[in-house]
A and B are shown apart, each in its own frame.
Chain A
Amino acid sequence: MVAGQPARSGIDFSAFRDSKLARELIERIRELVGDRTINLMEVCGTHTVSIGRYGFRSIMPAGLKLLSGPGCPVCVTANRDIDHAIALANIDGAIITTFGDMMRVPGSSTSLAAQKAAGCDIRIVYSPLDALDIAEQNPNRPVIFMGVGFETTTPTIAAAILEADARGLQNFSVYCAHKTTPPALRAIANDPETTIDGFILPGHVATITGLAPFGFLVDEFETPGVVTGFEPVDILQGICMLVQMVVENKPAIDNAYRRGVNADGNPVARQLVEQVFEPCDTTWRGLGPIAASGLAIRPEFSRFDARTRFDVPIEPTVEPRGCRCGDVLRGAITPSDCPLFGHACTPEHPVGPCMVSSEGSCAAYFRYRN
C-alpha cells in the first residue's frame, strides 16, 4: 500500500511490510530448509489469516509445511457450548450479547444468527463493557455475554465482571467458554498422528502470558517455539528463527515480537483473570476434553455465571456429518483435504466453524486459495 503520513497512532509499521526485507527473509528460509521436510504450526487464527493474505504458503520451499492450529476461538468452541448459548437466547426477555464471529456458527440444529432472525434479541458488541451498558439500559431483562476466547480476551471479561459488581448490576452474566492455549499445545505435541517440528506462537496471547508457559514445549518435547507478530516481516522472521532452531537442533522458546511482547507478559491482566476465574476441564472441538484447559467463574462471582444462574434445556448434540474441522484444528489435515471443502462447505454455506469464522483456517484457505 502507498505510504503517506503515518497512521493516527503515530506508529509507522512500513518497515514490517518492506518488500525487500521480506524477499531476503524468504531467500534465507529457502537456504535453511534446503531439501528437508519441516512442519511448523501457526497456533493463532490471526496468523492463519495473515499467512493466507500475504500468500506465504505459495512461496515457501516445498519441504516447509505451515499447518494451522487450534487458535481460532470460535472454531474450537464445542457444539454443546453453542447449543447452550442458543438455549440461553431463548429465555423469555433475554438479551444475548456476543462478538460477531459467533453469530453464524452452526450448532446442532440452528445458529445464533438464525435465532436472531426468528425473534431472539441477540446483539453484536465489540467489547464486553458495551454489554454492561446494555444491561444498565434494560434493568428488567437478563443480559448475557457470550464469553469465548483465549488469554487475550479473558482480562477484559474479568474486568467487565468486576465492573458489573462495582456498578451493582443484577441482570448481567457471562456464559463462560474461555480456553487457555498451553494445554492445547501439549495435546497437539502429544498427538501421535501429527508431527510438529516447531510452533509459531501466538503474539497476542503472549502479550498477556509472556514466554514461560510455553517452556514445556522445549523441556518435554524438545520442540522450539517463537512468539511472532503479524506483519509480513514479523511472520517471516518468526519462521526463519524456527527453521534455524530445527536445522541446528537447538530448540528454544524465543521472541520475535519484542515490540509487543514482554518476556513476562502482562502480570496485571493475569492477576485480574485469576481474581475472577479458576481453571476447569473443558472440551475443545477437534481435541476433545482437556484437563484444566478452560476457565470457569469463581464461586464468589457465581451470580455473574450464566451457567449456574439459568437452568435451560439444551438440545442433544449432533456433529455435522462429514465435517473434518476437528482434524483441521489439530493439524492432522489441511482444509483442502476435507472432502466438503469448497463444495458442500463454503463461506456462504458453511458446514463447520472453521469456514464461518473470519479467523477460521478453512475460511482463510478458501478466501485466498493460494
Chain B
Amino acid sequence: MSHSVTDSTVLLGHGSGGQMMKRIIDEVFLDAFGSPELLEGNDAGVAALPASGRIAMSTDSFVVSPQFFPGGNIGRLAVCGTVNDVATSGANVRYLSCGFILEEGYPMDKLRQIVQTMAETAHEAGVAIITGDTKVVERGGADGVYINTAGVGEVPAGVALSGANCQPGDVILVSGTLGDHGIAIMSQREGLAFSSNIESDAAPLNHLIADVLAAAPDTRCFRDPTRGGLASTLNEFAQASGVAMEVDEDAVPVRPDVQAACEMLGYDVLQVANEGKMVAVVPAEQADAALAAMRTARYGENAAIIGRVLPLGSDARPAVRVRTGWGSTRILDMLVGEQLPRIC
C-alpha cells in the first residue's frame, strides 16, 4: 500500500486520519506553509500572547466558483479575506488557521497551486499559518475545494475602531477602484463568459491599514466592502453610528470596463463585491493625511475621498445618499436578494 501524494487526484483516504492523510499534510501543506508552530505537529498551534492583552479574531469560509479566476484563486481569497477582516480592527494580524474540505477526485496539482498561493499571500501579509485541518468528502458532496480560515491579531493599546464611531463631519475614503472582484468572477461564469481584462483585486490590506492608522490616528473605522459592496458597508456604518452619509458619484473610482460590464449586467457597481479594497471613515482634519498614506501604500494608488458623514435628516433615519454631478440625489440601499452566488 503505497498511496502517496504522487496521486493525481484527492482520494477519500487523504482525509482518513491515517497514512495518506499524513502524506498530504506533510507534502502538500507543511511543505508550503512551514511555520515552526505547524512543523511541531501538535493538534494546536501555540503562540505568545500580545503585550497589549487584547486580541482580534475573525473567521471566514470560501466557496468561490470557479476556484481559479483572473487575478487569483480561492487560496488568495482565503488568506486575504480573513487577514483583511482582522486588520479592520486595527490589529496587527499574526496567525491564521486553515481548514480544507476537499471533494474526492479534485486534481492534486490544482490543490498544490492553491496551497502555494496561500503560502505566498500569507508571506506577503506577514502572517503565519499555525494550524490546519483536512477533510475529504465523496465526489458530489462538495464542489472541488472549500476553505475556512480563522485569523488572530494583536490589538495595540488605545486602538478601538468601530463602525459605530462615525460622526457628522467625518470623511469617507476608499482605497481604490470598486467592483473589480465581482465582475472578474462574473466574466468567468458558465453561460455568461464575456471577454475582458478585468482581474480580481484580492489583496492583503493589513499593511495599508497600518499606514493609514499611523497617518490618521483618529480613524473611526475600516471595513472591506466584500459581498454587497460599498452600499452594504456604508449602510452598516450609518445604522451603527446613527448618521446619514453622502457619496459623490463622480469621485468614486471605477474602471471604465467594470462600469461597462455592470451596465450590461444591470448591476450597480456600488453593490458589487470587492476583495482588495478598504473603506475608511476619518475625521475631516486627518483626511488628507489618510489619503496620502493610502495612495503611497501598496494596493492604494487609486484611493480617493468619496463622501462625507452627515447628521440625520428630518426623518431621523440613517441613510446613505449618492449625489450626482448635476446635483440630484438618490438613496443607496443594500442589495436585495442574491446578485451572484458563491463569489468568495
Asked if A pairs with B, the answer is: yes
State whether the Cβ of A54 lies closer than 8 Å to any Cβ in chain B: yes
Contact with A along B297-334 (1 / 0, CB 8 A): 00000001000000000000000000011111111010
Interface residues on A, range: 20 to 34
Contact with A along B215-251 (1 / 0, CB 8 A): 0000000000000000000000000000000000111
Contact A56 B254 (CB under 8 A): no
Contact A232 B304 (CB under 8 A): no
The stretch that binds B, out of A19-27, A300-308, A309-317, is: A19-27
State whether the Cβ of B53 lies closer than 8 Å to any Cβ in chain A: no
Within 8 A of A (CB), among B234-276: 249-257, 259-260, 266, 268-269
| A348 and B252 contact, Cβ closer than 8 Å, known pairs A2-B304, A8-B197, A55-B328 | no
Contact B325 A17 (CB under 8 A): yes
Q: Which of B196, B254, B256, B336 contacts A348 (CB 8 A)?
A: B336
Within 8 A of B (CB), among A182-223: none
Contact B326 A23 (CB under 8 A): yes
Q: How far is the CA of A221 from the CA of B198 in the complex (A)?
A: 50
Within 8 A of A (CB), among B35-89: none
Contact B259 A1 (CB under 8 A): yes
Contact A7 B257 (CB under 8 A): yes
Q: How far is the CA of A203 from the CA of B259 in the complex (A)?
A: 21
Q: How far is the CA of A19 from the CA of B326 in the complex (A)?
A: 5
| A59 and B331 contact, Cβ closer than 8 Å, known pairs A126-B191, A126-B192, A358-B266 | no
Contact B253 A367 (CB under 8 A): no
Contact B251 A2 (CB under 8 A): yes
Q: How far is the CA of A9 from the CA of B260 in the complex (A)?
A: 9
Within 8 A of A (CB), among B104-151: none
Tell me the minimal C-beta distance from B168 to chain A in angstroms: 21
Q: Which residues of A contact B329 (CB under 8 A)?
A: 55, 58, 370
Contact with B along A341-370 (1 / 0, CB 8 A): 000000110000000001000000001111
Residue of B192, B256, B257, B326 with most chain A CB atoms under a 10 A cut-off? B326
Q: Which residues of A contact B268 (CB under 8 A)?
A: 53
Q: How far is the CA of A19 from the CA of B337 in the complex (A)?
A: 32
State whether the Cβ of A52 lies closer than 8 Å to any Cβ in chain B: yes
Residue of A6, A7, A358 with most chain B CB atoms under a 10 A cut-off? A7
Contact A1 B330 (CB under 8 A): no
Contact B260 A54 (CB under 8 A): no
The secondary structure that dominates the A interface is loop
Contact A368 B331 (CB under 8 A): yes
Chain A's closest residue to B323 (CB) is: A55
Contact A59 B327 (CB under 8 A): yes
Contact A369 B331 (CB under 8 A): yes
Contact A56 B325 (CB under 8 A): no
Q: Which of B191, B269, B304, B330 contacts A55 (CB 8 A)?
A: B330
State whether the Cβ of A337 lies closer than 8 Å to any Cβ in chain B: no
State whether the Cβ of A130 lies closer than 8 Å to any Cβ in chain B: yes
Chain A's closest residue to B260 (CB) is: A7
Chain A's closest residue to B192 (CB) is: A126
Contact A4 B256 (CB under 8 A): yes
Q: How far is the CA of A4 from the CA of B191 in the complex (A)?
A: 29
Tell me the minimal C-beta distance from A231 to chain B in angstroms: 10
Q: Which residues of B contact A367 (CB under 8 A)?
A: 331, 333
| A1 and B252 contact, Cβ closer than 8 Å, known pairs A7-B259, A55-B324, A58-B329 | yes
Q: How far is the CA of A54 from the CA of B329 in the complex (A)?
A: 7
Q: How far is the CA of A4 from the CA of B266 in the complex (A)?
A: 21
Q: Which of B191, B257, B269, B324 contacts A54 (CB 8 A)?
A: B324
Tell me the minimal C-beta distance from B204 to chain A in angstroms: 24
Q: How far is the CA of A60 from the CA of B53 in the complex (A)?
A: 58
| A22 and B325 contact, Cβ closer than 8 Å, known pairs A2-B251, A347-B336 | yes
State whether the Cβ of A118 lies closer than 8 Å to any Cβ in chain B: no
Tell me the minimal C-beta distance from B109 to chain A in angstroms: 29
Q: Which residues of B contact A6 (CB under 8 A)?
A: 256
Contact B254 A1 (CB under 8 A): yes
Tell me the minimal C-beta distance from B193 to chain A in angstroms: 10
Q: How far is the CA of A6 from the CA of B269 in the complex (A)?
A: 17
Q: Which of B254, B330, B336 contacts A53 (CB 8 A)?
A: B330
State whether the Cβ of A125 lies closer than 8 Å to any Cβ in chain B: yes
Chain B's closest residue to A113 (CB) is: B337
Q: How far is the CA of A126 from the CA of B257 in the complex (A)?
A: 20
Q: How far is the CA of A253 from the CA of B254 in the complex (A)?
A: 37
Contact B326 A22 (CB under 8 A): yes
| A125 and B328 contact, Cβ closer than 8 Å, known pairs A1-B249, A1-B259, A347-B337 | no
Q: How far is the CA of A144 from the CA of B327 in the complex (A)?
A: 47
Q: How far is the CA of A35 from the CA of B212 in the complex (A)?
A: 52
Tell me the minimal C-beta distance from A132 to chain B in angstroms: 13
State the A residues within 8 Å of B (CB).
1-9, 17-19, 22-23, 26, 52-56, 58-59, 104, 125-126, 130, 232, 347-348, 358, 367-370
User: When A and B form their complex, which 10 residue pairs have the shortest distance between CB atoms, in order from nearest?
Assistant: A55-B328, A19-B325, A22-B326, A368-B330, A7-B260, A347-B336, A7-B256, A369-B331, A1-B254, A59-B328
State the B residues within 8 Å of A (CB).
191-192, 195-197, 249-257, 259-260, 266, 268-269, 304, 324-331, 333, 336-337
Q: Identify 15 residue pairs between A and B in the complex whose beta-carbon atoms are under 8 Å apart, listed by A's number.
A: A1-B252, A1-B254, A1-B269, A2-B250, A2-B254, A4-B255, A19-B250, A23-B326, A23-B327, A56-B328, A58-B329, A59-B327, A232-B324, A358-B266, A369-B331
Known: A1-B253, A52-B330. 5 other contacts (CB 8 A): A1-B249, A8-B195, A17-B325, A54-B324, A55-B324
